Structures are given as structure tokens and as C-alpha cells.
Amino acid sequence: MTGKLCKVLICVCISLAFLTAAASPALAGKKDDTLYFSWKKELESLDRYFNTAREGMIVSRQICDDLLYRDPDTLQYKPLLAKSYKWLDTTTMEFELRQGITFHNGEKFDADDVVYTINFVSNPDNKVLVQRNVNWIDRAEKLGPYKVKLYLKEPFPSALEYLAGNIPIYPNEYYAKVGPKGFGIKPIGTGPYKVVEHEVGKKIVFEKNKNYFKDSPKGQPSIGRLVQRTIPEDTTMAAELMTGGLDWIYQVPKDQADSLANVPNVQVLKAETMRVGWLVMDAAGRSGENPFQKVAVRKAVSHAIDREGISRNLVGGQSRVIHSHCFPTQFGCTDAVVKYDYNPVKAKELLAEAGYPNGFEIDLHGYRNRPYAEAMIGNLQAVGIKANLKYLKYSALREKVYGSKVTFNFTTWGSYGVNDISNITGRFYNFTEVDYARDEQVRDWLKEGDSIIDRNKRKAVYNKALNRIADEAYVLPLFTWVANYAFSKELDFKPYPDAVPRFFLSKWK
């Protein structure tokens, strides 16, 4: 009796476990005209002005339009919500707007929306998170139902760049009613996709905007629905992609991308992005007396790190070593500076010369791309510098950086996809909390460059600053980052260097 009972019990347990598992998972993709994709970030708000994440930019570009559009292929600025634009002088611009465009909620687009949006975001009291995007604007003024004048605070050469992608235009009546909070949950734009479902931080569902204006330089959206889910683990994402649960993932680690390339239904693309990394050495001595106050030590570190090897083996793809503190295609960036080759012997000599024949011990802080940091620690160890990795979450690290507690820092910057040097170099040498060089000369040159309109003069002054940074080896610029995309072979997708996927340009094959 008990023997039978045992068997029955076991059978029940086993069959329960497996019966539930019999059916096969539903497949995503082309069949139901829905693109399933995922990222790691729990996006806190869909209001572009009140998030700082790349993911926020991705959402904004699908659902909203800016006054201008930078064609990602030709890099030319084209009018988007504007019909045309012109500079009246160095601090005023005039925009003629398109007519007949409606927002997703049916609200009509006109000059009021543009004036409201620009005046709202440029007002510091409204505390837009990325002030750099808007703090060059003085105000906007309505000249007619479809005519707007924009006043700048001072000459700002990269204004077009910001107007083409970082200043989406919102519907004034709706935004005034719901505010940033309501807009962050249910955003309304004029863009090629509209948000139809949103669980904050978990899921966003986009639907094709069938009324998207016909002659938009962004083109017409093709895929019916986009569904975003938050998944924190690379491995989980890759497994979902392989089994058809997802159609598109990005920021895939290099080795996983290499392996995914061999999976039959998956295609992998590796594209360089605007993100660059560098090592900050506390030359100003903000964190107390330290070896990096000697330029020979900073140069020794520069010679000790095998940037080429890390870039080739760990980053892979189109990643390249950089020698000045900016992304190579950014306006004002130059590679014509002192180059420190990988030379451990020389590094040791420099260390000895600086009074550290046996090296020294130091904490290296970092917040992302741990394997790169580990590889650099290996390089440093080889010349006698014993670096201990202190890996922190971004916010915790920022706290330490601001508090002058970080002597040696591995950090990165993506420039918000802005193809102009003003969004990178200037931010790190302006004597604020992130500036561990504190060089007045560099600060003044960069500030001057940010306000000159003449392109050649601008370049020349940036050139001087970048050269001084390199000569003094305040930081060691490392290499460019690569975004690895992996997606279903049924999908036609093209990546761009600003690493903002444009789903409105994608279609099923």
C-alpha cells in the first residue's frame, strides 16, 4: 500500500512539473508586426527633459520631433517641424514652421507649442535635468501663427546640433495640464511613433503614428508596434534573442556579440559610438598629496597602459585608440597632439625619475566596463603600480568625485550624441567638481572656443587647449566605445555613431 502511495505521489509531482511546461513559447517578430526589444535601464520618465539616459533619447526620437533634424547619413541639418530657418545675427534665429501637423492627441501644432516648450525648458526654475542642452537659450518669441524667433544668451556655435535632436517640441495645452510628471508617464508628441501603453520602468508599447506628416525627413514608420521590456542581465537578453522572445538588443558585450553572430537567426552589427573613456589623474592634488601631481608619473601611466591591446581585444569592432580628450568626429577635436605609445620600459624609467623606482599603491575608481579596468590594472601592475579597483555605482562614485576623494578615476562620456567638442572637453576643465586638472589656461581657451562663431578660429583655440591637456597628461584618453547590436535576421536595421537606434527607419525584410 505505502509503496503504491509513494509511486503515485512521485508521479503526481513529476507530471505537475512537466505538464505545465509542455507548450512552446510564443514567438515574437515579423508575424505579428511587432518589434520586441529590451534594455537594462528602468527608465524613470519618458519626458526627455527630465531624464538623462540614452534610453530617454531613444524614446524621445521615436515619439517627438525637434525643429531640425540631422540626417544621420549625410550629417546635414534639415528642417523638421520647421519649414525653414535662418540666422538673423549671431544670437537670433528665425523659424518658419510647417503647417497641418497634429500631435498624437489631436492637438494642432503651431508657434504656440514651440514658444511654450522652449520658454519652459530654458527657464532654470523648471529644473530641466540636462541644463547643457538648454541653458544657451534666452527665450523664444511668437512672430505669427507659424513663425518663431529664438534669442540666444550669447553666440553659441553648436546651436543647430542641439536643436536637431535634444529639444523636442511638446504640445503646449497638454503639457501645461499634466506637467513633467504626467508627461513622463504618458508623453504626447508629433513623432512617427506614439506611446500606447507604459508601465514605468517595466514596459513601453509604441504604435505607428498613421498620421505622421508625409514630407518628414525622418520618413514614414514601417513597423506596426514596438514593445520595450526591461531586462537587467546580458545573458538573459541574449537567451531571449536566440529563442525568439526578443527581436533586437543593444550594448551587447563583445564576446557575447561574437558568439551570437554564429546563431542562425541572429545578425550582429558592431558600430562605433561617440562614447570615449579616459583615466583622470588628480594632478591638482584635490584628494591630498599624491604621485599624480608629478607630470612624469602621469606620463608613466600613459605609457604603461596597452590601449591598443584593450581596444582591439576587449572592445573590438571599430574601436580605436584616441589621443586627445574628445571623440574624433566632433567639431574641434584633433588628433595632432602628443601620443604616448605603449612602452612599459619607458614607463618604469619615468617612474624612477619621478622618485618611484618601486612604483606605488593607489585606488582606481570606476563605474562601468569592469573588464577594461581590470586589464588596465594588469598593465599598471606590470610597471610596479599596484592599483586596487574600487568599483562603485555611478551615483556613489559621483559623490566621491565631487567630494575630492578620487585620485585615480576611470570614466567615460557619451556627449549625448552631440557632434561638437563643447559637449565634452569643456565640461571637465571648467574648475567645477569634476575638474581634477585645474589649469586656468586650459579653462580659458575652452571657454573662448565655446563662444567663437568663426569655425577656423574656434578650431585653433580648441587645438591649443587639447595640446596642453596632452602635454601635461592631465588625463589619459583611452579609446572609443563600440555599440554591439544583435537582432533578428528578419529585421532591417541600421546603426549610427550617436548610438541612438532609429526604429522609424527600420522595417521587416
Partner 1 sequence: MNTEISVPFKDISFPTPRQMTLRQARRHKGFLLGSSVLLLIIIMALLAPLLAPHDPYDQNLSKRLTPPVWHAKGTWDHPLGTDNLGRDYLSRLMYGARISLIIGVAAMLISGVIGTTMGVLAGFFGGRVDMVVNAMITTRLALPIMLVALAVVALVGGSLQIVVLVLGLMIWNRFALVMRASTQQLRSMDYVSAAKAAGCSTPRIILTEVMPNIMNNLIVVATLEITRAILIEASLSFLGMGVQPPLPSWGLMVAEAKGFMLFSPWMIAIPGAAIFILVLSINLLGDGIRDITAPEGRS
Partner 2 sequence: MLVYTGKRIVLALLVAVTVSFISFMILNLSGDPAIALAGADATPEEIKFVREKYGLDRPILVQYIEWAGRAIQGNFGESPYFNQPVKDIIGDRIGVTLILGLCAFLFAVCLAIPLGVIAAIRPNTWIDRTALTISVFGQAMPNFFFGLILIIVFGVILRWLPISGGESWRHFIMPAIALGYYGSPALMRLTRTGMMEVLASDYIRTARSKGLRPGPVLFKHALRNAIIPVVSLAFVLFGYMLGGAFVIEYVFAVNGVGFLAVRSIERADLPVVQAIILLLSFIYVTMTLLSDILNAYLDPRIRVK
- Cβ distance 326 to 336 under 8 Å? no
- Of 198, 200, 250, 204, the closest CA to residue 226 belongs to 204
**Which of partner 1, partner 2, none is residue 371 near (CB under 5 to 8 Å by kind)?**
partner 1
Q: Is 6 in the site for partner 2 (CB under 8 A)?
A: yes
The C-alpha cell 556613489 sits at: 396
Q: Is the dihedral of CA 216, 218, 219, 224 positive or negative?
A: negative
Residue 234 vs 492, nearer CB to partner 2: 234
Q: Residue 324 and residue 98: Cα distance in Å, rounded? A: 41
> How far is the CA of 471 from the CAs of 85, 307, 422, 449, 459, in angstroms?
42, 18, 20, 19, 18
**Which of partner 2, partner 1, none is residue 21 near (CB under 5 to 8 Å by kind)?**
partner 2
Q: Residue 441 and residue 45: Cα distance in Å, rounded? A: 40
Residue 100 vs 264, nearer CB to partner 1: 264
**According to CB under 8 A, which one of 29, 45, 49, 317 is a site residue for partner 2?**
45
Q: Is 291 in the site for partner 2 (CB under 8 A)?
A: no
3-state secondary structure string across 296-337? HHHHHHHHHCCHHHHHHHHHCCCCCECCCCCCCCCECCCCCC
**Which of partner 2, partner 1, none is residue 306 near (CB under 5 to 8 Å by kind)?**
partner 1
432: DSSP letter: S
Which residue type sits at 456?
N
For the record, the C-alpha cell of 213 comes out as 506628416
Name the minimum Å distance from CB 365 to partner 1.
Answer: 9
Q: Which residues pair with 272 in a beta bridge?
A: 482
Interaction mask 229-248, partner 2, x per CB under 8 A: xxxxx-xxx-xx-xx-x---
Name the minimum Å distance from CB 247 to partner 1.
Answer: 18
Which residue type sits at 420?
D
Residue 400 vs 459, nearer CB to partner 1: 400
- Residue 440 exposed, middle or buried by CB count within 10 Å (0-12, 13-18, 19+): exposed
Q: Is 259 in the site for partner 2 (CB under 8 A)?
A: no
Segment 378 to 417, residues that bind partner 1, using CB under 8 A: 378, 381, 388-393, 396
Q: Which residues bind partner 2 (CB under 8 A)?
A: 1-2, 5-6, 9-10, 13, 16-17, 20-25, 42, 44-45, 50, 52, 129-131, 180-181, 184, 199-202, 229-233, 235-237, 239-240, 242-243, 245, 393-396, 398-399, 402, 432-433
Q: Which residues bind partner 1 (CB under 8 A)?
A: 233-235, 238-239, 242, 253, 255-256, 259, 306, 309-310, 313-314, 370-371, 373-375, 377-378, 381, 388-393, 396
